[in-house]
Structure 1
């Protein structure tokens, strides 16, 4: 079970359930192995055809082809909720700028005006900044994709629960009502951000539950599986999703499931890379208790791979706010200076 991986597993979601509606044991076993041993896998058969994928990449490219002044009308420094457009080199990973620009969006909800002082994570809820005038087709295309990814994320969490010998609805309650999913349109550009070097995105783990990434054919994503010192490239498969697990599941299972470290190498100068990551995430006020693993699985738990400079938290809202404050220091300084000191 703990053999070092040398490739990213490939799973087919269309084979996840049998005709009677129960999860297929073979799929569950493959999912358990991928989730524990690697923390990453690629996924086909999730319901989207290539026309839908191509449409999403088309609006993504067209957004980043808009004049800079149009994109800056959506500058995330205007949003106290960390929504909108981030310029090249203005997102930071491990203290270094990333060689990418992006558009962050989430559920379209009103801002929370009043919340308890010990729950500042509510500030990440709010309206999106999307190009409704310059590119009106982007919103419906992206929101339709988010709806599909929400269904895929929920189905995968149900299968993960079964793989842990739990009821398939075990993780459902924290998502009921107002799941705080997040998504991005991302454009990697090499050779432009001098301080980034070859860093498209620095080494990190995701802080939610399940990440569903659609990547183009350029490549550059690399994974460092638990217990390994060898980075594994995630080779692009047309239309497939790259799936990885976040810190909330690692915390909940005491490290049986892995929030695996990964990074992106910037493309060569003159080459564009586009991706659309979607982060299936619970309500902001959800707190995830430890999972009652059966002894046979608990024996393989690795413990939490905690970084003292980036502690994993059982409160999803606290975990996600910590991530936003670190990744977008300019937004934090402008809108939330009182929170910076506690997250340095």
Structure 2
């Protein structure tokens, strides 16, 4: 039987009593055990907030390349601002050698943080980096910051449900994500006016690095696919008012493989549609505090992974995927 991506309504958990939260947590546990992906509705984020950021991103990515390049960071190692096609090959993070991904993206993080050593120390400055914004469109930063802060709250709520799903105290993750290092990416997949190189995709096969990815995409040719347990690749569809959530490597390690961080990719559009199909996806890559120690919470059995610090794991993954 072909696997499907479950759809979970969060409204009973966000608005209901404890038994309702437990019921939704059980749905999340089932989805994360089987496929590592699920779609959420009833999340409480107005569709206008999502559409506003998508519109401003579309305006930016359709500017002339030379203007977009002005929004690049001066230091290529700084994960902020614009990146053109050719900068990244995500499959390298899974030791698969492919040509660079056929995408552009805009990388940003939280808009501000306290004047405290955790954030401002030499180590903290590696993760808390001022955002870089283009001149056009003028309100791109406002739209992005509004979206980021709303999805940040949604991520906190999902991590409470995650704890319930794993049989832990609902606040188990609270002190491990209260100073998180989450970055967002707006990915732009332009028209493909020339044929891709052999093995080249819009985004190569990869797993995500952190806890949860909360993604809003578009149902257009050349979209997201996930590889399920039997090896089949299945499409992941989204609607304008829903998000796709998937498990990242650190949460899989935390659960000792009870939950699966599944391989996924973004495929090329059919040749007949390639020159017409632009696509935008907006991903919130929820990552714990950089000093959080990730170690198994499995109640019994041998841990399958050695403990690792959240920030060190992210740094290594960034290092191997950049060209």
Question: Does the 8 Å CA contact 2:100/2:200 hold for their aligned counterparts?
Answer: no
| Residue 116 of structure 2: aligned partner | none
Secondary structure of the equivalent of 1:256? coil
Question: Does the 8 Å CA contact 1:288/1:315 hold for their aligned counterparts?
Answer: yes
| Residue 30 of structure 1: aligned partner | 27
Task: Select the residue among 316, 320, 323 that pairs with 1:326.
Answer: 320
- 1:194 Cα deviation from its structure 2 partner: 4.0
Task: Select the residue among 149, 158, 163 that pairs with 1:147.
Answer: 149
| Residue 66 of structure 1: aligned partner | 63
| Residue 184 of structure 2: aligned partner | 183
Using the alignment, how far apart are the partners of 1:128 and 1:17 within structure 2?
Answer: 31
Task: Select the residue among 114, 121, 136 that pairs with 2:122.
Answer: 114
TM-score when normalising by structure 2: 0.86
Using the alignment, how far apart are the partners of 1:193 and 1:76 within structure 2?
Answer: 29
Using the alignment, how far apart are the partners of 1:50 and 1:17 within structure 2?
Answer: 17
Using the alignment, how far apart are the partners of 1:244 and 1:149 within structure 2?
Answer: 14
Task: Select the residue among 271, 276, 286 that pairs with 1:280.
Answer: 286
Q: Which runs of 5+ in 2 are unaligned?
A: 114-118
Secondary structure of the equivalent of 1:277? strand
Q: How does 1:1-344 map to 2 (within 5 A)?
A: 6-17=3-14, 19-21=16-18, 23-76=20-73, 78-93=75-90, 94=92, 95=97, 96-108=99-111, 114-115=122-123, 123-131=126-134, 133-176=135-178, 178-189=179-190, 190-192=192-194, 194-195=196-197, 199-218=201-220, 220-225=223-228, 227-267=229-269, 268-293=274-299, 303=304, 314-329=308-323
Using the alignment, how far apart are the partners of 1:191 and 1:167 within structure 2?
Answer: 52
Aligned length: 306
- 1:17 Cα deviation from its structure 2 partner: 4.6
CA root-mean-square deviation: 2.5
Q: Tell me the alpha carbon deviations over residues 23-42 of structure 1, each in whole angstroms, 9 at most, x when there is no partner.
A: 43331221110011110001
Q: Tell me the alpha carbon deviations over residues 97-144 of structure 1, each in whole angstroms, 9 at most, x when there is no partner.
A: 0010001011245885634xxxxx85243111111x222211111111
Q: Which runs of 5+ in 1 are unaligned?
A: 116-120, 305-311, 330-344
Q: 1:198 to 1:97 in 2, by over 3 A?
A: closer
TM-score when normalising by structure 1: 0.81
Using the alignment, how far apart are the partners of 1:313 and 1:271 within structure 2?
Answer: 43
Using the alignment, how far apart are the partners of 1:87 and 1:313 within structure 2?
Answer: 35
- 1:208 Cα deviation from its structure 2 partner: 0.4
Using the alignment, how far apart are the partners of 1:313 and 1:101 within structure 2?
Answer: 34
